[in-house]
Structure 1
Amino acid sequence: MFAKYTLILTAGALMASSALAQQVTLPLPRLLTVMPMGGQAGTTVEVTITGENTEDISALMFSNPKITAQPVAGTENKFKVSIAADTPVGVYDARVMSRLGVSSTRAFSVNKLPEVVRSKPNNSVETAMALPVGTICNATMTKRAVDFYAFQGTKGKRVAVDCAATGIDSRLTPVVILADAKGGDLKVNRTGGVIDFIPPADGTYLIKVSDLTYQGGDRLFYRLALQEVPGNGPAPRQPQTQTVSAMSWPPSGLAESARTNEAEPNNKPAEAQKISLPCDIAGAFFPAADVDTFQFTAKKGETWWVEVGSERLGLNTDPFVLVQQVKETNGKETLVDVAELYDIAPPMKVTSNGYSYDGPPYDAGSPDVNGKFEVKEDGTYRLQVRDLFGGTRSDANNIYRLIVRQAAPDFSLAAWAVHMTLRNGDRAALSKPMALRAGETRAFEVVVQRRDGFDGEIEIGMENLPPGVSAAGLKIAKGKPYGHLILTASSDAKRGFSLGKVFGKSTINGAVVTHPVHLASMEWPVKDAKGEIPAPRLMADVPVSVSESEQAPLTIAPAESKVFEAKAGETLKIPLKLTWRNDFNGTSIKVKAYGDGFSAIKEFDIPLKAATFDAVLDLAALKIAPGDYTFAFQSLGICKYRYNPAAVPLAEAEQKKAEQTAIAAAAEAKKIAATDAEAAKKAAEKQKQADAAMAAATNRMKAVTTAASPTDTVEILISEPIRVSVKPAAATTASK
C-alpha cells in the first residue's frame, strides 16, 4: 500500500504545482526511472521504479520477451527482472501497466559484462569506488559533485572508459576524466564519447564523472563501462537508443555489410581510391580532418543518387559530399564542382522553440546526406566525403556508409502523437504513450522521408489493436510530407493491451510496397521547455492500451456509421453526435479538420453541451476532387478534470482506520503506563508508530483530495474518423 500511495503522492504534487495555471493535456502514465538501468544477460536483477500517474501497477514489461519481471512481494515499485542468457546486447524499452494503461517507456540496457550498482558516496579520491576492469557500474549523478572510481591498470594493456547517458534516456551530460592515482587529469572527454587509454605503467588510475553543469539526482543516471580492448580496432561503445532521424535508415534492401571498405590513404587527389558505380562503401571519419576521396568514370546523361549514413547510426557527425569533374588541359588538372550535398531536410518544418506548434518538436531530418548529381559529359569524377564536425576529433568509432546508386524510389515513415499549439507562456513537450481512455480518439502525425524522387501517395494503416480500439489512416497525399493516424477507443471499451503494427503502403513502379511506421516519443515529460530542451527518440515497438477507469471528457462521432456521399461541387452535411462527460470553459469549441482535402475546412464553432451538430461542408470551396476520403475534426478545449476521484474514499477509509488504531494505541499506553515499565515502553513505541501511520494517512488523504479537485486542463479533442465518397459532378446539358 505504501508504494502505491507514494506514486499517487507524486501525481498529486504535480497536480498541485500546476493548479495556478492550466494543465496541458490529460494526465498520462509515465515511467520515469528504472534503477539499475540494465543488467547482464543470464542474470536476475532487482530494480526500483518511479513514475507519475502510475498507481495500481500490475506489470513491468519489456520490448524483448527474453526480459521478464515479477513484482517483489509487499511492494509496488520493486521488481525482479530476469534476463535470459541469450538476450542480445542492446537497449530495450521498459514500461508498466497501470490504472490509466501502458506508460511511456524507459531505456533498459543489456550487456554481457558483470554489473554493479554504486551503493555509497564516492565523491573524493579517498572514497573512490573500486571498479574492476570488465565491469559496468550503474549510478545516479551526485549533485554539485564529482563521482570517483578507481581501477588497476596494467602497463601497455589498452582499456576503454565509456559513460552511457544520453543514449539511455538520461538527462546527464557527462564529463569523464581519466586521472592518475592522485587525481591529476590525463585524458578528458566532454562530448559523451569513449576514453581510449593505454596505461604507461602498472598502478591505480581514477575515473572522474560529473555533469557538465554539475546537476544531479535520480533522473541523471549513467552506466560506466570499463573494459579491456584487444587489438587496434575501435574502442567498444555501449548500445544506445535511436534518434528520430534514424527513421530513414537503412535504405530498403541494404546489405548488412558494405561491399567495399575505404582504403587509406585516400585524402589527396593523387591518392583517390578508384571505384566503379554503383558502389556501397564502409569508411570512417578518422583521423581528425579526414577527407576520403573516391574516383570513378561516368557517362553523359547518367543520374546518380548519393546517400551517406553516419549520424543516423547514432554518431555525432555531419557528413558532407562534394562531387567534382576532373579535367586536364595542357597537362594541368583542373576540378569543376558538380554537386555539393548536405543535410536531409525534415519532412515538416520543425518547431523553432522546441515545444509549440509552429512545427512539431520532432525532427525526422538528419545531418546525413541523400541527394543526386547529374552527369553532363563523359569523363572522370571525384567524390569527397568528410565530417563537418571532424576537424579536431580523432575517433575511429565515427564510421559512415556511402552508397551511390541509380534511382531506387522508396520511402520511410515515422509517427508521433500530435502536440498542441500553445499560448505564449506555456512550455510543455510531453511524452504521450498510446494509453487511451474509453471514448477517446487521438491523432498521430505520420511523416514520410521520400527517397530518390518518389512522390506517390501513401495509405496508412494499423493492426493488432486491443478489443474496442480501431484505427483509421488519413493518407499522405501525392508529394506531401505527412498525413495522420486516428486511433479510437469505443465508449464501452474494456481494459486491454496489445503491441500494434503501424504501416504505410504505396505502389512504386507497379508493385505494392509496404513499410513499417516507426513510433517516436519524448524521453521525458518536459513541462517547461524554456529551461530544458525536449529530447525525442524512436521507440522499439508500438504498445497500445485502453483503460476503463476513466472516460474521455468529450466524444465526437458521426451520428451514423456510414460512408457519406456527395457529388463534387455540392454541399455535404455531416450530422455529429457529441457526448460531454466533463464541464468545459467558455460557450463553444472551435473546430478544424485533419485529412487530405479537408484540412482547409473553415473553422466553425460547436456550442458546449450540444448533443448533436450538423457540420456543413462546401466541397466546391474545398475543391475536393472525386474520390474516397477519410478525415477527422479536431479542436482544443479546456475541461474541468478530476484526477482519480475513486482514490478519495479509499484514502478516507484508510485515514479513519489509522485514526482508530492510533486512539486504541494511546488508550492502551495510558492504561499500562503505571503497571509495568517494560510493557509501558513497548506500548509507547506502538503508540508512536500508530501516530506516524495516522499522520501519513492524513497526508495521503490530503494529496489525493487535492489531485481529485477540478483542474482546468487543455486537451486536444479529435472526432472519430469520418468517411466520405465524392462522386463526379453530374454532366450539364451543354456538355451533353
Structure 2
Amino acid sequence: MLRLTCMLLMFLFLPAISWGQTSYPMLMGLKPAAAQLGTSSEHELESRYSMFGADRVIVSGEGVTGKIVTPMEPGKDGKVPSLTKIKIEFTVTKEAAEGVREFRVLGPTGASTLGQVVITRLPIANESDKNDTIETATEVTVPAAICGTVEKSEDVDLFKFHLDAPATLTFHTLAMRLQDKIHDLQSHVDPILTIRNSTGSTVAAADNVYAADPYLSHTFSEAGDYYIEVRDVRYKGNRYWNYVIEVSDQPYIETIHPIAVQQGQPASVKLIGTNLGELDSVEWQPGEGVALGMQEVQLPLPGGRSNPVLLAVSEHPVEVEQLFSEGSEKGEQAISIPGGIAGQIEQVSDIDSYKFTAKKGERFTFETIARRLNSAMDPIIWITNSDGKSLSENDDLRTWGKRTYQDSMIENWAAPADGDYVINIRDVHLRGGEQFTYFLSATRSEPYFELVLDTDKTQLTPGTSGVLFARTVRKNGFTGEIELSVENLPEGVTAHGGRILSTGTDGCIILEAAADAKPTAMNIIVHGKATVGEGDEAREVSVAAQSMQEIYMPGGGRNHWPVSMHTVAVGAPSDIRSVQLDQMEISLKPGESIKVGVTIERAEGFDKNVTLDMLFQHLSTKYANVLPKGITIDSKKSKTLLTAKESSGHLLITAAKDAPAVEKQLCSVMANISLNFVMKATYSSQPLFISVVPEVAAEKVADADKK
C-alpha cells in the first residue's frame, strides 16, 4: 500500500505523466487455472490493458486470498509502463470450499473485470511446452488437476498417466465454463476429451455434458499406460482457452435425489455418481449459512466432503416423488401449494404428473429447476384439465433480460374454472435415467420484482462521481415504485439512492468519492425496497440485486453474465476530473424544454472524444433509462460530442405534452469515453433531480411565491 500511495502522489504532482484514455484491466487468462487446498501457488495473469500499479486481489467466498507478486516499478523514462502480464499468488486454506471462485485485481485504474480460478483438492499438474503427440505427451501422476491451454489452431494436448492396477477414474473438465465471464473473449472453447491406451486406440470419449464441457467415468480393466487427449472439437485454438481436467479415483457425485431440500429441515439424499462403493445416501441439513435458492454445497461423506454439488434450497415443504401415488387411478400425485416436488425421470419416455385443485381465477406459478443444477434433464412442463386437454405449456425460460435456460416455467397462470388440474413434466427429448433429476416448485402467484445491476463494478477517483444502474423485471402485476439503497460502501464514498418509478424499469444510485478519498475497494450489496400487494395483504419487500458482468459479443454486441460480486473501487485521478452541471434541479411543465449546461474538467494531456448522455446505451439498445416517463433528450438541439480539447456541452431536456407529473427523479449526466467498441469508461455528475409539474400546479406555485 505504501508503494501504491507513492505512485499516486507521483501521478498527482508530475503533470508530464498521463494515463490518457485510461482503461481498467480486462482479465483474459490465468495459468495455471487451478489452485490446491492447503497450498500457496503462483499463477500468471494476463489482461488487456495495463495492470501496472495493481496492489490487491479480491477473491469471492472465504478461505482463498490472493496477492500481487510482480514488482510495480515506474519506468525510468518517467512514463507509466504497460503491464499486461503479472504474477499473482493464491493461498488456499484446507477448509476452503472447492469449486470455481471469481477474483479481480485492484490498482490505480480501479477494479479489473472478473477472472476465475478453480479450487481443488487434487495436486496440480501443468501442461509442458510441447505435448501434441503420444511421444511428447506430458507425464502426470493421477489423481491430479491437469491444467493446460488449447492455445492455437489444431492444438491437441496429450497427457500420459500410468495405472499399477485396474481402477475406475472420473475425468471432469472445466473449460468453457471458465470463459463465460471473460467479457472480452468473444469465442469460447468447445472441448472434447478422449482416453487412449498405450497403442493410441480410443477406450473412452466425452463431449458435451456440463454445457460444452465433457465429463466421463471409465473403468480401466488393466494396468498400464494411458493417455488423456483434449482439443477443441472444431480444431480451433486461442491463447486464452485455459482448461482444468480433474482426474480422480475418489467418489464423484453427478447429481442427487432429491435435488431440493427445505431450508432448516434434515433430508436423506441419495447420491448418484461414480466410485461410491456401498455409499448410497447421506443425511444432510441446510444450516443457517445456506441461503435460499440454487446453491453449491459439499455434502458430508465418510472421511471428508464430496465434490461441489448443486441443489435447490426451498422455503416451502419439499415432497419426494412417489412412484405410485396411493388412491390415484391415473398415478397422479397430489402437489401441495405452496411447496414442491423433487423427482426423477427414471426411464425413457417417462412423464410425471401432479394433481392440484384450483378455484376459478386463482393464479399459480410452476418452475422447474433441473439443468441449472447440472441435471441431465431438459424439462418441458404443461398443464392439463381433468379431461386431459392441454391449457398451457413451456419449454425454456428466460430470466435476467437476455439470458435463457433449458429449465421451464409457467408463470402467473389463471385457472379458467373451479376443478382439478394436472401439471406434467418430462424430458423434452424423451430421455430418462437416474441422472434426470428435477425440482418442480409450485406457488401461488403474488406480485414481486427482480432486480439486476447492469455491471459488476463502479469506478471512482478522488472527487468524482460514478453511476450504478439497476433494472427491474416486474412480476405478477407489481407496478409500484422501488427505492434503491446500497450497503458496505468503501471509506470515503457516499451514495445518493434513487428509485425506479412505477412507470419505468430503470433507476440509479450515484456514488461520490471524497476529494481526499484514499485508494480502496469494497464489494457492495444493492437492495430494492417496495410495497407489494394491496390492503391487508400489502407488505414491505426487499430484494438484493443480481450483479452482471458485461460481455463483448461477436459482431460488437453487448450482453451480460451473472456474477457474485459488484465492486466499488477508488483509484488514482484519471482522464476526467469532474463533471459539473449549471443546475442540479429542474422542473418542467408538459411540452416545455430546459437546457442543462455540462462542463467537464479534463486531465492535462487528455484530448480524446467524450460523449455526454443520460441514457446508458449501446448501438440501438438502451440498457438504462432513468428519465421520467415523457422526458427525452433532444439530440438535435443538444451538444453531446466533446472533441479534442472541448470541455463544454449541453443537453436539451424536453417534456412531452402528456408527460405525467413526477417529483424529483434522481438522474445522472454521464461523460463516456470509449475503451473499445463496446466498453466505456463512465464518469457521472452529481445527482440531477428532474420534476414534471402540470401547468395548473405550476401556476399555483408561482402565485403562492408572489404572495
TM over 0.5: yes
Contact 2:672 2:680 in 1 (8 A): yes
Q: Does 1:35 align with 2:31?
A: yes
Closer, same or farther: CA 223–118 of 1 in aligned 2, 3 Å: same
Change in 2 beyond 3 A, CA 1:141/1:576:
closer
Tell me the CA shift for residue 292 of structure 1: 2.9
Residue in structure 1 matched with residue 481 of structure 2 by the alignment:
457
Distance in 2, matches of 1:518 and 1:36, equals 29
1:94 aligned partner: 103
Q: Are 1:512 and 2:540 an aligned pair? A: yes
> 1:145 is matched with which residue: 136, 141, 155?
155
1:194 aligns with 2:215: yes
Shift in alpha-carbon separation, 1:467–1:414, aligned structure 2, 3 A? same
Match of 2:450 in 1: 412
Query: Using the alignment, how far apart are the partners of 1:715 and 1:491 within structure 2?
Result: 20
**C-alpha distance in 2 between matches for 1:106 and 1:519:** 15
1:578-657 paired onto structure 2 within 5 Å: 578-581=600-603, 591=613, 593=615, 594-597=625-628, 599-603=631-635, 604-606=637-639, 608=642, 617-619=653-655, 621=657, 623-634=659-670
Query: What's 1:167 paired with?
Result: 177
Q: 1:395 to 1:462 in 2, by over 3 A?
A: farther
SS of equivalent to 2:657: helix
Aligned to 1:529: 554
The residue number in structure 1 matching 2:501 is: 477
Cα distance, 1:415–1:256 mapped onto 2, change above 3 Å: same
Confirm or deny: 8 A CA contact 1:301 1:377 kept in the other structure. Answer: yes
Aligned to 1:337: 390
Give the one of 126, 138, 143 matched to 1:117.
Answer: 126
Identify the residue that residue 408 of structure 2 maps to in structure 1: 368
Quick check: 1:60 aligned with 2:57?
yes
RMSD: 4.3
Matches of 1:90 and 1:724, distance apart in 2: 47
Q: Which residue identity is paired with 1:601?
A: I
* Alignment: residue pair count: 585
Matched residue, 1:221: 242
Task: Give the distance between the partners of 2:560 and 2:653, measured in 1 at CA.
Answer: 37
Pairwise CA distance, 1:65: 4.5
In structure 1, how many angstroms separate the alpha carbons of the residues matched to 2:159 and 2:346? 30
Residue of structure 1 in register with 2:421 after alignment: 381
Task: Indicate conservation of the 8 Å contact 1:568/1:626, yes or no.
Answer: no
| Residues 590-642 of structure 1: CA deviation (Å, up to 9, x unaligned) | 7555424165233232385777777564546361414231122357678xx9x
CA contact (8 A) 1:567 1:730 kept: no
CA deviation digits over 1:331-360, x for unaligned, max 9? xxxx21121124434565x5xxxxxxxxxx
Q: In the TM superposition, what is the alpha-carbon distance from 1:175 to its structure 2 partner? A: 0.7
Q: Which amino acid aligns with 2:581?
A: P
Bigger Cα displacement from structure 2, 435-444 vs 208-217: 435-444
Q: For residue 462 of structure 1, give the secondary structure of its aligned residue in structure 2.
A: strand
Q: 2:320 aligns with which of 261, 266, 276?
A: 261
For residues 549 and 164 of structure 1, the distance between their equivalents in structure 2, rounded to whole angstroms, comes to 39
Alignment partners' CA distance in 2, 1:215 and 1:41: 33
Question: Which residue pairs with 1:177 in the alignment?
Answer: 194
- The runs of 5 or more residues in structure 2 that have no matched partner are 5-19, 73-84, 181-187, 254-269, 276-290, 296-311, 616-624, 701-707
The percentage of aligned residue pairs carrying the same residue is 21
The separation in 2 between residues aligned to 1:315 and 1:632, in whole angstroms, is 44
C-alpha change, 1:369 and 1:233, in structure 2 (3 Å) is same
Write the deviation string for residues 401-439 of structure 1: whole angstroms up to 9, x where unpaired: 21111123322222124xxxxxxxxxxxxxx74333456
Residues 53 and 605 (structure 1 numbering): CA distance in 2 closer, same or farther, change over 3 Å? same
Tell me the distance in 2 between the aligned counterparts of 1:715 and 1:59: 21
| Pairs within 5 Å for 1:554-593 | 555-559=578-582, 563-564=585-586, 574=596, 576-581=598-603, 591=613, 593=615
Task: Measure, in 2, the Cα distance between the counterparts of 1:270 and 1:153.
Answer: 54
The answer for the alignment partner of 1:720 in structure 2 is: 686
Which residue does 1:466 correspond to in 2?
490
Residue 128 (structure 2) pairs with residue 104 (structure 1): no
Q: Report the secondary structure of 2:571's partner residue.
A: strand
* Partner Cα distance (1:724, 1:292) in 2: 54
Give yes or no for contact 2:195–2:202 (8 Å, CA) kept in 1. yes
Q: Partner residue of 1:44?
A: 40
Give, in whole Å, the separation in 2 of the partners of 1:438 and 1:65: 30
* Runs of at least 5 residues in structure 1 that lack an aligned partner in the other structure: 5-23, 238-246, 328-334, 351-362, 418-431, 644-710
Given the alignment, which residue of 486, 497, 505 partners 2:521?
Answer: 497
Residues 389-468 of structure 1 aligned to structure 2 (within 5 Å): 390-391=429-430, 396-397=434-435, 399-417=437-455, 433-438=457-462, 441-468=465-492
Report the Cα distance in structure 2 between the residues aligned to 1:727 and 1:502, rounded to whole angstroms. 30
Q: Which amino acid aligns with 2:50?
A: N
Contact residue 445 and residue 484 of structure 1 kept, 8 A: yes
| Alpha-carbon shift at residue 324 of structure 1 (Å) | 1.0
Q: Using the alignment, how far apart are the partners of 1:236 and 1:480 within structure 2?
A: 51
| Distance in 2 separating the partners of 1:80 and 1:729 | 64
- In the other structure, the counterpart of 2:256 is none
- Residues 1:321 and 2:381 aligned together: yes
Matches within 5 A, 1:340-351: 340-346=393-399, 348=401, 350=402
Structure with the higher fraction of residues in helix conformation: 1
| Mapped partners of 1:283, 1:25: distance in 2 | 55
The residue type paired with residue 60 of structure 1 is V
Distance change in 2, residues 1:263/1:149 (3 Å) = farther
User: Within 2, Cα distance between the matches of 1:203 and 1:613?
Assistant: 74
Asked which structure has the greater CA Rg, the reply is 1
What whole-Å deviation, never above 9, does each CA across 1:665-693 have from its counterpart, x for those lacking one? Answer: xxxxxxxxxxxxxxxxxxxxxxxxxxxxx
Taking a change above 3 Å as real, the CA distance of residues 259 and 337 of structure 1, as seen in their structure-2 partners, is same
Aligned with 1:302 (options 333, 346, 362): 362
Match of 1:208 in 2: 229
Distance 1:98 1:308 in 2: 43
Determine helix, strand or coil for the equivalent of 1:455. coil
Which region of structure 1 is more displaced relative to structure 2, 404-413 or 394-403? 394-403
Cα distance, 1:95 vs. partner? 1.5
1:260-279 aligned within 5 A: 260-264=319-323, 272-278=331-337, 279=339
Superposed CA offset, 1:15-41 (max 9, x none): xxxxxxxxx985222232222222222
CA deviations on 1:65-103 (whole Å, 9 max, x unpaired) are 522234447688223321111111232222112231221
**TM (normalized to structure 2)?**
0.71
Contact 2:379–2:406 (8 Å) recurs in 1: no
Query: TM-score by structure 1 length?
Result: 0.68
For the residue of structure 2 that corresponds to 1:408, the secondary structure is: coil
Distance in 2 of aligned mates of 1:618 and 1:33: 46
Which letter does structure 2 place at the counterpart of 1:112? R
Counterpart Cα distance in 2 of 1:475 and 1:549: 29
Can you list the C-alpha shifts for 1:191-237, whole angstroms capped at 9, x where unaligned? 12421323345554432211122233541111101223649943379
Secondary structure of the 1:600 match is strand
- Cα drift, residue 116 of structure 1: 2.5
Report the Cα offset of residue 381 of structure 1: 3.0
Q: Give the aligned partner of residue 692 of structure 1.
A: none
